[in-house]
Amino acid sequence: MYVPTRGEVAYMAPETLRLILMDWLHESPSELIPSAAQISQVKAILEARPDAAELAGLIEECRQYVTD
């Protein structure tokens, strides 16, 4: 299980990042399950990216993770 750094979230190619984040959100072993605070930070970084429109689905996935 790979957990991306803030820098990677900010600059990684969208498709690569999408695969990594979806794995982290939904397939993490118990010791690596992301907290709502971590995913809120990821969401904020994604929203600040110049390609945020391309990442809208991933941003929504983060929003749902935090609110559910």
pLDDT in tens, 7-57: 999 999 999 999 999 999 999 999 999 999 999 999 999 999 999 999 999
Helices 36-48, 56-67: crossing angle, 10 deg rounding: 160
Burial class of residue 17, CB neighbours in 10 A (0-12, 13-18, 19+): buried
pLDDT band at residue 1 under the 50/70/90 scheme: confident
For the chain, the first-to-last Cα distance in angstroms comes to: 23
